Amino acid sequence: MAKTVVITNQKGGVGKTTTASAIVSGLAIRGFRVLGVDLDPQGNFGFCLGADIETSPTVYDLMKGTMKADNIIQHLDGGVDIIPSNILLSSAEHEFSMLGRETLLKRGLAAVTEKYEYIIIDTPPALNILTANAYTAADNLIILMMPEILSVLGISQLRETIDLVKSIYNPKMEVLGILLNKYDNRRRLTQDVEDMAWDIADKLQTKVFNTKIRSSITAAEAPAHGESIFKYAPRSNAARDYNVFIDELISEKGMILNGEEKQQN
């Protein structure tokens, strides 16, 4: 049974898609069976891994119930599978108005969870029905933050959404931790925001991950080339940091599969 991990923050521009891409690619490199799911109507998660987001079926078809997951999943280079998204998903808030709409994604993925060890879900920069679907399907959340004041604003609203989903739809969901992205310890503000992140983590009954993802131009460039950071710039600081973070992630209690961590190929 797959562990489903959601990358989240209602603020845009914090690097959720780059992080989701790095995690699925890094897990695949380590030999895990991994599926990425794009819940952002912009479709960047699929695009940055080389998926067809224009002419192929997407997560929108899965949530509508018109196609099964097996017929939507794209098998990409590097051993990554993905359910892509595109602009059609932007109608979800109004179109998916039926009772139980928060469970559409979970029900759609149920048929394939036994085929994977990890499912990584990228979310839109909003707290809407798509985010609620991701949380309902999740075992764990990773909250992504930048060391900027605006990045920590609205976390109370995020906490309320997490608590609401846990109380009604998914009581087993847990926040694995807060990941600091675009990190530069030379800036005084970085330390101030890191201190705030620990305060937020305490309120969410979680932690700030030991690994920090350093600022890197290559991390921003890789998605535009349809490649993960490991393929585009394997020697960059971002690639090194993401590798360390993935090792930290799979060593988390409850995240190791079959009782032992797989060794990197």
- Does residue 257 belong to any structural domain of this protein? no
Q: Which tens digits make up the pLDDT trace of 187-234?
A: 666 777 788 888 889 988 999 999 999 888 887 787 777 778 888 889
- Does residue 214 belong to any structural domain of this protein? yes
- Does residue 128 belong to any structural domain of this protein? yes
**Confidence (pLDDT) at 115:** 97
Q: What are phi and psi of 4, to 5 degrees?
A: -105, 120
- Does residue 104 belong to any structural domain of this protein? yes
**Confidence (pLDDT) at 264:** 43
Beta strands in the chain (DSSP E): 3-8, 34-38, 74-75, 80-83, 118-122, 140-145, 174-183, 208-214
Q: Which tens digits make up the pLDDT trace of 159-187?
A: 889 999 999 999 999 999 999 988 776 66
- Does residue 21 belong to any structural domain of this protein? yes
Domain that holds residue 102: 3-247
Collapse the DSSP code of 132 into the 3-class scheme (helix H, G, I; strand E, B; otherwise coil) and give the result. Answer: helix
Burial track 234-247 (b if 16+ CB lie within 10 A, e otherwise): eebbbbebbbbbbe
Tell me the residue length of the chain.
Answer: 265
The C-alpha angle 113, 117, 122, rounded to 5 degrees, equals: 75
**Confidence (pLDDT) at 74:** 98
Distance (Å, rounded) from C-alpha 248 to C-alpha 137?
A: 23
- Does residue 48 belong to any structural domain of this protein? yes
Q: Which tens digits make up the pLDDT trace of 223-243?
A: 777 778 888 889 999 999 999
Higher pLDDT, 137 or 92: 137
Tell me the CATH number at 108.
Answer: 3.40.50.300
Tracing tokens 């992140």 back to the chain, one arrives at 197
- Does residue 252 belong to any structural domain of this protein? no
How many domains would you assign to the chain?
1
Supply the pTM of this predicted model: 0.92
- Does residue 72 belong to any structural domain of this protein? yes
**pLDDT tier for residue 260 given thresholds of 50, 70 and 90:** very low
